[in-house]
Structure 1
Amino acid sequence: MIDIGGGLVLRPWEARDAGVVLAAFAAPEMERQADEPLNSLADAERWIARRAADREADVAYAFAVAVAYADGGTALGNVAVSAVNRTHGVGWVSYWTAPQARGRGVASRGCAALAHWAFLELGLFRLELGHRVNNPASCAVARAAGFVVEGVQRQKLAYDGVRYDVELHARLASDGRAGSARP
C-alpha cells in the first residue's frame, strides 16, 4: 500500500472491490473503457483477477486509488501502467474514477503517485497517456499529474462509427515530481 496523501492510498485491487468495479463500469461513459463487458459481479471479479495476473506476469500494474482507512479503504478509481517496454523504459498510463469521486483530485494524485512508483520501482524513464480531445477533464488530470502535451494523434480512436483525435501526453523520470502526491 502506498500513501499518496489527502487521505488516499494506492493498493492492489482485491476481490472485495468487485461491487465498486461493477458500479464504475455501469456509468455510460465507462463501458468503452473495459476490455470486455462487465455486467455482473462475476465479470467484475474476473476483471480484478486479470489485474492480479498481469501484475504476477510482470506486464502491467493496476492500483485501486482508495480511501486510506486501516483496512485499505473503499476503492474510488484505478490507475495503471501497462504496455511496459523494459528495453526502452516506457509504459502506458491509464486511469478512471468512479462517478462519485470525480473532480476531487483522486485521479491526478493517483497518476502522480503511479508515475513516481513506476520510475523508482519499475525503472521506467518515460510514461505516456492519451485522451480524446473532447475530454477536458482527462486532460486536466494528465496535466495536474505532471504529464506534458506532446501532440495530437489524428482520428486514432473509433467509437460507434465516429473517429476521435487523441491528445498525447508524456512524463519523463527527469521531469521531477508533480501533483500533490508524495509517496
Structure 2
Amino acid sequence: MPVLFTAVLPKGTLNALRQPVLAIDDQLALRTWRAQDVPAVRAAFDCPRIQRWHPRRMDSDEEAWEWIAGWTRQWQDEIRTSWAITHNDRAVGQIGLRNIDLEQGAAELSYWVLPEARGAGLAARAVEPMTRWCFDAVGFHRLFLKHSTENMASCRVATTAGYVPEGTLRAAMLHVDGLHDAHVHSRLRTDEGNDDGSA
C-alpha cells in the first residue's frame, strides 16, 4: 500500500554510518562498548538506584558481554544504539537511543551513570554531544525521553540538557513496584539553539 508522505530518514541511514566517538571534553567522551567494560556493566546492573528505574538485572559476566556484543547488531538493524560514557577511557555510564523510528525521524534517549561518577552533571553533559550528533550528522527531527514522575534525577538531567517538558503519561512505565506515571521531554532540530532544520 503506497505511503502518502516521504520518510524523514530513509531506511539504511543509520546503518550507513560508523558509530562515532563523541568528545565531551579532554577527559570525557562517548565511545562504543568493549570487552574491558564488562565490570562496569555488571556494576551498573547491580546498582539498586539503576535497578529502581530499569527492567532487568545481570547475573554473570557472560550476560554483560552479551549485552555489550549485542549493540553492533542493534545498530545494524537500526533499532537501538548505545555508547559508553567514559572518563579517561574508563566506562562510567551509558547513553543511547531506543525506539528508533527513521520514518518519523524520531528516537528515545536513555542514560545511566555509575554511582562513583554521579554529582558532576555527567549525564546532562553527555546528552548534548549525543543530541548534536543525532540532529547534525544523522538528521533526526525529534528526540525525546520518558522517566517516572518519581525519578527526579532523570528529570533534572532532561531539563538541564534543554529537553522541553511535554506533559505526563498516566501509568505508562512498568517498574518493579508497578506502573508509574511518566514525564515526557523532547528537543526538536528546529528548536532555538539547534540546527535550522534545513540540513
Q: Could you say which TM-score interval applies, normalised by the shorter chain?
A: 0.7 to 0.9
Aligned length, in residue pairs = 174
Matches within 5 A, 1:67-78: 67=87, 69=88, 73-78=89-94
Q: TM-score, normalised by structure 2?
A: 0.81
Among 43, 48, 51, the alignment partner of 1:31 is 51
Q: 1:56 aligns with which of 76, 96, 99?
A: 76
Give runs of aligned pairs for residues 152-167 of structure 1, distance below 5 A: 152-167=168-183
Query: 1:152 aligns to what SS in structure 2?
Result: strand
Q: Is the 8 A contact 1:112 1:177 kept in 2?
A: no
Determine whether 1:11 maps to 2:27: no
The answer to whether residue 154 in structure 2 is matched with residue 138 in structure 1 is yes
1:119 equivalenced with 2:135 (yes/no): yes
Displacement of 1:59 after TM fit?
2.3
Percent same amino acid among aligned pairs? 32
Structure 1 alignment gaps of length 5 or more: 179-183
- Greater C-alpha Rg: 2
For residues 159 and 176 of structure 2, what CA distance do their matches in structure 1 show? 28
Structure 2 residue 144 is the aligned partner of structure 1 residue 128:
yes
SS of corresponding position for 1:48: helix
> Unaligned stretches of 5+ in structure 2?
1-20, 195-199
Taking the aligned partners of 1:47 and 1:35, their CA distance within structure 2 comes to 14
Distance in 1, matches of 2:33 and 2:130, equals 14
Deviations along 1:101-127, one digit per CA (max 9) or x if unpaired, are 112111101111111111122210100
Q: Provide the alpha-carbon RMSD of the alignment.
A: 1.8
SS in 2 for 1:29: helix
Q: 1:132 is matched by which residue type in structure 2?
A: S
8 Å CA contact 2:53–2:175 kept in 1: the answer is no
- 2:189 maps to 173
